[in-house]
Structure 1
Amino acid sequence: MWVFYLISLPLTMGMVGVTLRYFAGPDVAGYVRFTVGYTWFCSLSIIILVPADIWATIVNHDRGGISFFWSWSYWSTFLLTWVVVPILQGYEDAGDFTVRERLKTSAHVNLIYYLCVGSIALCGVILLVNWGNNWSGGILGFAMACSNTFGLVTGAFLLGFGLSEIPKSVWRNADWTLRHKVLSQKVAEMAVKLDDALEEFSNAIVVAQVTSKQMSKRDPLRPCMNIIDNMLVQMLSVDPSFKPQGGKLGGNDMEYDTDEKTMADLRRRLKKAREEYYRYKSEYMNVVTEALELEDTMKNYEHRSSIGWKYISSLRPERKGKIGTSLDVIELIWLCMLRTQFEKLLAVLLGCMSVAILLAEATILPSGVDLSLFSILINTVDKNEVLVQVNT
């Protein structure tokens, strides 16, 4: 079993690390990176635990270690889902100037969320008290049941969407004409969102600058304004090319110097506007780049004979030398010839996997007939540890 751990554990941690590095911004705090990485690792730990658990069950191996890791994964996910992540999200979103005030704001924002969860839990406890004869362990079991129900319902919706949408989207992406229309529409939509985000970001900067100029150095709120000023300087130094354009300012845009709460609102508005602007900017650039690459592929396929079967890109300079020419030929063959067929084959395989999962889910009850492809594969390899874990 240790061979499987040596493969699956680094693979899972590598997936978490690569994903975290791809999505995390440069200014994300270290504790946020750690929390998100740990959360993803707990979610993906199923890749490690399920094959090992199935193998231990088949060979009647001692499951003490597996049970411990299942408990660790379960309770870590439970606490992260219901306590740590909601509080941390509210804390990072708050614009207050002290840790205590940010925690208070986060708790206030999540109050409705916790009231709903607490109401459900209270109703469950009341039912346990009224109906249960011996419910000494009922509260813990009820909490686990609520968490499992939430996870199963959410997973069912996401699974149902993924089983149909992923194969369809992969198949549609293989059609260049359809994909080009979709990307053109996305470019137009993202351009509108980016323009709105730019206007809001510029407005927030202008409001902060005007508020700072109007506030005297002896104002009690000046320390809060100094924090916002330093934040502005850092924002503008990261992207010197960005120039606030201003926009239509309303009457409420100049009422942020009343008290510390309004100053926190100004700081929060500035942070939110910056994040939305750079998020939409990144998405817009990605969509535009994908559209240009698709247009290059279509042009290279159409004129492949006249250009000597070499891929010519409008986004990068031409490669030099014999190796560069060979790479251009390989790139043309892959992008213009093989990639479309590979995507169609992948869509078919994903569709077959979706059907197999649905069939396994539909026959999960003990009916005497095993129509699960995964169960059949596991039973076929008998007690070969490596094959059982690979099939799982």
Structure 2
Amino acid sequence: MWVFYLISLPLTLGMVLFTLKYFAGPEVPRYVMITVGYTWFCSLSIIVIVPADIWTTINHIESGGISFFWSWSYWSTFLLTWTVVPLIQGFEDAGDFTVTERLKTSVHVNLVFYLILGFIGLIGLILLISMHKNWGGGVLGFAMGCSNTFGLVTGAFLLGFGLSEIPKGLWKNSDWTIRQKVLSHKIAKMAVKLDDAHQDLSNAIVVAQATSTQMSKRDPLRPYMDIIDNMLAQMFREDPSFKPQGGQLGENDMDYDTDEKSMATLRRHLRGAREEYYRYKR
């Protein structure tokens, strides 16, 4: 069994590191990469745990280590899925100017999302109890049943999608005429999306520049605007070939200089438009 561990553990870790290196962008923060790597390792840990669990069961070996690793994998995945990863996503998406404010924004967004889910779940639980007058099942058992059902349905859906899409994709790719038509269609769609992203980024740049021009140096919000100006300057240094074209000011585009939150919204919009444009361009 130790031979299996010596092979499977480095192989799993190598898969995670290779995938991180292949997909991670140059500007991804280190703590995000560590979190994603740990999340993928927890998900792929079944490659090691399941065969070990089967081996100990067949050989009638009592192993507390297997139980510990199952608990570690389950609770790590649970906490990462419902707490850590959503908080980091909200933190990275927030446009606020301090770590504390970005964290507050992330917590607020996730609380709203979970409150909506909890309200829907509460309605479902009330309906279930009202439809079954003599329902004697525990709430914990019901929650575990819902969780298992969600996992099984999601897994079956993803497996079914893969079982149908992969052969269909191989079959289509075998015909060069069909493949050429499909690729031409994808290129046309990508060109349209790239043009829309370029327009959105141009609008965001024009709005940011106009907001900076009309804001005086004594304005309390000027330090935040300076951060956005530096962001624009860095953007043009990294890609001198980019030229804003067709940028237009909308009816409410000059309302960003009212408070700190509106400036954070402007920064978030600019950063999102930039990421969207370069995603399609590359």
TM-score, length basis structure 1 = 0.66
Partner of 2:262: 262
**Cα distance, 1:107 vs. partner?**
2.4
| Distance (whole Å) between structure 2 residues aligned to residue 150 and residue 280 of structure 1 | 33
What amino acid sits opposite 1:265 in the alignment? T
CA 35–124 in structure 1, closer or farther in 2 if over 3 Å, else same: farther
Partner of 1:27: 27
Write out per-residue CA displacement over residues 96-143 of structure 1, whole angstroms, 9 at most, x where no aligned residue.
11222222222232234211443427976996xx9559x6xx64x555
User: Mean alpha-carbon deviation: is it higher for 233-242 or for 27-36?
Assistant: 233-242
**Cα distance, 1:57 vs. partner?**
1.6
Partner of 1:213: 213
Write out per-residue CA displacement over residues 240-270 of structure 1, whole angstroms, 9 at most, x where no aligned residue.
2222224233122222111111101100101
TM-score, length basis structure 2 = 0.90
Write out per-residue CA displacement over residues 257-306 of structure 1, whole angstroms, 9 at most, x where no aligned residue.
11111101100101110111111112xxxxxxxxxxxxxxxxxxxxxxxx
Does the 8 Å CA contact 1:201/1:273 hold for their aligned counterparts?
yes
| Distance (whole Å) between structure 1 residues aligned to residue 11 and residue 142 of structure 2 | 35
Partner of 2:75: 75
Does the 8 Å CA contact 2:221/2:260 hold for their aligned counterparts?
yes
5+ residue gaps, structure 1, are 283-392
Partner of 1:167: 167
Structure 1 residue 234 corresponds to structure 2 residue 230:
no
| Distance (whole Å) between structure 2 residues aligned to residue 121 and residue 60 of structure 1 | 43
| Distance (whole Å) between structure 2 residues aligned to residue 122 and residue 34 of structure 1 | 38
| Distance (whole Å) between structure 1 residues aligned to residue 190 and residue 278 of structure 2 | 12
What amino acid sits opposite 1:258 in the alignment? T
**Cα distance, 1:220 vs. partner?**
0.5
What amino acid sits opposite 1:67 in the alignment? S
CA 225–22 in structure 1, closer or farther in 2 if over 3 Å, else same: same
Does the 8 Å CA contact 1:202/1:247 hold for their aligned counterparts?
yes
> Number of residues paired by the alignment?
276
| Distance (whole Å) between structure 2 residues aligned to residue 79 and residue 123 of structure 1 | 24
Aligned pairs (5 A) from 1:150-161 = 150-161=150-161
Structure 1 residue 245 corresponds to structure 2 residue 279:
no
| Distance (whole Å) between structure 2 residues aligned to residue 131 and residue 10 of structure 1 | 49
Structure 1 residue 17 corresponds to structure 2 residue 21:
no
Partner of 1:280: 280
Residue aligned with 2:61, SS: coil
Write out per-residue CA displacement over residues 127-163 of structure 1, whole angstroms, 9 at most, x where no aligned residue.
6xx9559x6xx64x55544433322221121111111
| Distance (whole Å) between structure 2 residues aligned to residue 36 and residue 179 of structure 1 | 34
What amino acid sits opposite 1:36 in the alignment? V
Write out per-residue CA displacement over residues 78-111 of structure 1, whole angstroms, 9 at most, x where no aligned residue.
1111111112111111111122222222223223
| Distance (whole Å) between structure 1 residues aligned to residue 249 and residue 163 of structure 2 | 47
Partner of 2:86: 86
| Distance (whole Å) between structure 2 residues aligned to residue 251 and residue 122 of structure 1 | 41
| Distance (whole Å) between structure 2 residues aligned to residue 233 and residue 147 of structure 1 | 48
What amino acid sits opposite 2:178 in the alignment? L
What amino acid sits opposite 1:227 in the alignment? I
Does the 8 Å CA contact 1:121/1:143 hold for their aligned counterparts?
no
Partner of 1:320: none
Write out per-residue CA displacement over residues 187-239 of structure 1, whole angstroms, 9 at most, x where no aligned residue.
00000000100111111112112211211111000111111112222222222
**Cα distance, 1:171 vs. partner?**
2.2
Does the 8 Å CA contact 2:211/2:257 hold for their aligned counterparts?
yes
Partner of 1:185: 185
Structure 1 residue 41 corresponds to structure 2 residue 29:
no
**Cα distance, 1:26 vs. partner?**
1.0
What amino acid sits opposite 1:188 in the alignment? A
Q: Percentage identity across aligned positions? A: 74
| Distance (whole Å) between structure 2 residues aligned to residue 25 and residue 253 of structure 1 | 31
Aligned pairs (5 A) from 1:301-380 = none
What amino acid sits opposite 1:225 in the alignment? M
CA 77–124 in structure 1, closer or farther in 2 if over 3 Å, else same: farther
Write out per-residue CA displacement over residues 4-60 of structure 1, whole angstroms, 9 at most, x where no aligned residue.
111111111111112112222111111111111111111111111112212222222
